[in-house]
Structure 1
Amino acid sequence: MVGYKTKMVERISLPAREQRERNLEEAGYNVFNLSSDDVFVDLLTDSGTGAMSDRQWAALMSGDEAYAGARSFDELESAVADVMGFDHVVPAHQGRGAENVLYGTLLSEGDVVPNNTHFDTTRAHVANQGAEPADCPVAVAHDPSASEPFKGNFSLERGRELVDEVGPDRVPVVIQTVTNNSAAGQPVSVENTRRVREFADEIDATFVIDACRFAENAYFVQQREEEFADASIADIAHEQLGYADAVVMSGKKDGLVNVGGFVATDDADLFEQCKQRAILYEGFPTYGGMAGRDVAALAVGLREAVEREYVADRVEGVREFGELLAEAGAPIYEPPGGHAVYLDAGAALSHLPDETFPGQALVCELYREGGVRGVELGSFAFPDTDRPELVRLAVPRRTYHREHFEHVAETVETVLEKREDVRGLELASEPEMPEIRHFTAELEPVGP
């Protein structure tokens, strides 16, 4: 049995309800605009918000801060080769920096890019290149109550329909996101990845895996895909990622660090192109916008992420959080994913029409009632897409304990008891780029 003991603590406090009311109004009913000091349990994201291990802190102290040729980069390069199977690495300051490097290299105006489901920054980077992001989820992905093992899979049927519609020449890249964040963090089977590899070969496209949560996905594969029941997490991850031509990675997820990311590939030509673009946008290719100490911590984190004891504790902890919420009467997306529990806001606030953003309204009520910060991933975050109204409660790695999750469950239960009093919201202002409007847009309550 493996567990953790605490070496450092941070004090948190719950502001008075009147203060929380004022905070919401001043934030324009957008919890991204709240100060973290005013949040009691912060489940906005699992990206860069976790606690590092003592081994990672030790790596921080010994990181090499050389501008070029740093020893820390050698450690990262070795970790990526061992854990993920790629020889070439281009570091970046975080995942969206890596997306800019890779998709800025691969995409041109007029391209169409299928993905099992694009997340916000991926969708925005594809659109920023003048290309069109196209979601290809399996049908069951939009059914919160269905208990299928791999609801995050890429729909080959939809992918081929898309190619028939636009022609293969307009589809130079195929992406698969593991786990599928926009589909409630649901896992992707290795068999599906194999089939997507074949699909990409059929149309002569580059196959990219967004590997942000590759270790969590490998754990689900071990538990649910019979072929891999006796395989190690490390071996499963290595095989699944090995079907890709390139991976794009936010180290702030399954790299277990607070900053950093990279592109990795075995394609020497693609590597060289990405490296040159990274010099322009991220920094020299052996640090990529990170301090050397952060590169060193990321190298350690990648190796820790595929240790079964770590990832089992991680995923099973999220499952137990989901059970607490379900026991509190919350309609949750089933089964829970590896990094978050998703609330079905459409069911929870069924009296609110979709155009009044029931997901965002639920997010605001969770903060108002208990100082809990989640994030809406429905029509507010993804306008003009056919997605359920979901609220994500993302769990930072190795950070919160059962008493925090019990507080969240009690908060949800209280909100649901008063659900008929919850008012919808409408936009007061928004930025020009709709793909990222949820980060900065402001809202206001509907009606008197």
Structure 2
Amino acid sequence: MSSFNKTAAEIAALQAGTNYTLIAEIYKGHEQWSPQAMYSGEIPNIVFNAIAMSVFFVFFFWQLFFYIKFRNSTYGITTLLHLIGQAIGYLGRLLSVANISGLSLNNKNYFLLQFCCLTISPNFYNAAVYSEYRNIIYTYGTSKEKVSKLSVFGKSFQPLLLSSCFIISDITCLVIQGLGGGVEGTSVTSSNASGLKAGNNIFIAGLACQTFSMSFFAIVYLKLCYNIFIRQRLEFVQANNLHEKYNIPTSYSAGKSFFAPWRWYKIINSVPFENIDSKVINLDTSRFTSYQKKLFDTYPAAIFVAFGLAVIRCIYRLIELADNGFNGFLITHEHYLVSLDFVPLSLSGLIMCIYTQGLVYNKNGLKDLDSIRKASYRGLGTWAELAIELRYFFGLKVDEEKLDNDYKIKLFQEDESKFYVENSETVSLKDEITDNADNSKKLNFV
């Protein structure tokens, strides 16, 4: 069919009614214009979607290898769920064009698979970043007082509570989007236009909440990095009147410099981090290789950049759905998906593959972080510590002395138990050596 008259085809399809075989014959060779096609006049590009799927599968297996090696549970699992969701989403788009002559563009399952996976899976990546907030603050908060000082909201919002709040908001957004996706899926299957619109509105509400939450966290995280790497330096210079020594103007105040990011590079380069205090990093970085040290030093900035790219993508998805849903301009032009969804998330995924948590901290560093968290929680479980942080937040009394004493007793009991185990192992080893020696003598005697 060299010339295809869309208007004539639409009239013929209207006359065909629910005779999908006849509709398929009318649009043969031009399946993308079929009223049954799910992509509103466009065929997904098979080359792009194959490359996109491959990229995210590569990222997934890369992260899976390091998850198996380092067992970084929360961060590792959520990152893997995000990457496999993206890979499956692009697989859904590929399946939609795998057999176009058989009208695979009409396959509602493929369309919903790609739409839900590509839209919802980044929520898992958000959870990974939110959990890293605690690790960053415990890496540089060398005391309980310093943790409160470096935290953006001070003592009222401790690390676990803040991370939990954002993770809860992320789960809430995920549930709302899942509900919207369910309503849309049912409506697409039953060709219910009003239900499809309602599902789309629910999905938009979930994306709007997610966009706000992510944007707010980006500001909170940036302020945390400022407190750690800029404010500490400025307070050190001001407290010791070292402006001339480090060539820092007196106008660079700790409070106002947050809104002057052009000053940050000069401050970081002028004042060596180790000069601020004898101990500004909780981890023993002396065991790190030079490459790992570079990763470690730039890790907080890398997280911010990677998360910022995810925020850009989330804003695009919100505008895309708000623009007349599945019939809007953005959703029916794939190059916007390429530039504003795939590119930001693939760059974000690449950054986090380079800065894989296990490569940044290695096994010893991850063990140190775990020990620091346990010490900060004074041996309490996550839920018990969260309850205490809630008491801080609401200004309720916390018996710090009792918690400290209970933790000291617990540490003493653990050390005592460890001593008896090691002592018994030593005694057993001595007995084994003695028995072997006696047997050896018997053998020699024979």
| TM-score (normalised: structure 1) | 0.23
**Higher radius of gyration, 1 or 2:** 2
Which structure's residues are more often helix, by fraction? Answer: 2
In proportion to residue count, which structure has more strand?
Answer: 1
User: What's the TM-score once normalised by structure 2's chain length?
Assistant: 0.23
